Every structure is written in structure tokens, then in C-alpha cells.
Amino acid sequence: MPEIKDLTARYFLILFTVISLAGTSTIFPQTKSNLEIFYSLADSSVNSFIHSNNPNGNIYTELNNGGTYSVFNSHILGLLQAKGIKPISGKGTDAPQYLYSVLKASTIYGDVFRDGFLGDFLVKRELVFIGNYFYTGAGLKEFNLLYTDTVKVEDIKNLENTSFNFTVGIVPTEPFFSGLFEPIAALGTAAVAVILFFTVRSR
């Protein structure tokens, strides 16, 4: 009887190992939404301006972000104020001018691939943020920022915000042979487990 219990324990250990290897995948931390990352890129563009020019006090600020890009306006004004800058409006002032424009923001997804054997479908995510700013005494400066990482395909619907089209990208379809192979591989895994079971029992 002790021998049978030992063989049963070995069987379950082997089965657990096979299933674990089949489902191995990378553990992703909490993934930021596309809009959150675009806010971070906007922060980088403004911080670059501040680092290069050391502005302070009153600054005539004009944010030329129309359409859905206007979502960045209050965020940028808040960042300027947090840095000790007081944005003011009204042309004709003697204060330095800061004119900021977002020209392009877009979300791009690469080809879909698997995270290991029978793992999650993943895709490379690229967020592009392009624009320029003018500052008195410094002239016109351009910024071209790119953020890249890898996300789960199943998470994309939660990462995008349909109210802002620049956060939405085209997701390629799953690889045909990968989708076809999955049920076959699952059956193969089950078959291996059954063979191992009877092999252990025969001993």
C-alpha cells in the first residue's frame, strides 16, 4: 500500500509539472492605459522645456491643442503651476511667451505573438507623441517622443479610451497556425498525462 501511494504521488507531481510548463507565461504588473502614458509623454515634453529654459513667474501661455488633443491642456497647465510657473492669458503682455502644440499622437500595435507554449497572446505597443513649442528667446523647438512596451491582447480594450481616438490602434489578428495548434497541443498534453499515468501504474 505505501508503494501505491508513492506511485500516485509521483503521478500527480508529473502531471502538475506538465500542466505548469504548458501554461507558463510572463507575469505583467499593472499596465498603464494608453491615455496615462500619453500624459506622461506630455509631461516629458514640458519638463524638457523647463529644464532647457528655467522659466519662472508669469508666462503668457497658449496651448494650441484642438480636437481631442485639448485633453492635454489642463494637464499641462497643472504641471506648469506645480513647477512654480504662473500661466497667464491676454496678448500684449511683456511676459515671455510659451506656445505649445501637439501635432500628432497615435497608438500602434505590432504583430501578435505568444508568450511561450500555450501562453497569452501579446502585442508590442508603441505610443507616438509629436509636437513643438515656442519660447521667447529660445525660438521654436520640436519634440518627438516614443513609448514602447508589450501588453496582452486581451487587455487592449481596457487600455484604450474610445473618447480619444489617438488612444485606439488597429490590433492584428491572431496567427492562424497558433490558434489551430492550441487545441492540438492541449490534447497532446492530456495524452502525455494519460501515458504517464499508465506507465506509473504498470510499475
Q: Where exactly are the structural domains of the chain?
A: 1-29+179-203, 31-172
- Which has the minimum average pLDDT: 72-76, 94-98, 197-201? 197-201
Tell whether the model's pLDDT for residue 184 goes beyond 60: no
Measured over the CA atoms of residue 71, residue 74, residue 80 and residue 82, the dihedral's sign is negative
Tell whether the model's pLDDT for residue 136 goes beyond 90: yes
Spatial separation of the C-alpha atoms in residues 77 and 86, rounded to whole Å: 9
- Residue 172's region, left for phi above 0, alpha for psi from -120 to 50, else beta, is beta
Confidence (pLDDT) at 83: 95
Tell whether the model's pLDDT for residue 201 goes beyond 60: no
Tell me the pLDDT of the chain averaged across its residues: 82
**CATH class given for the domain over 31-172:** alpha beta
pLDDT category of residue 96 using cuts at 50, 70 and 90:
very high
pLDDT category of residue 1 using cuts at 50, 70 and 90:
low
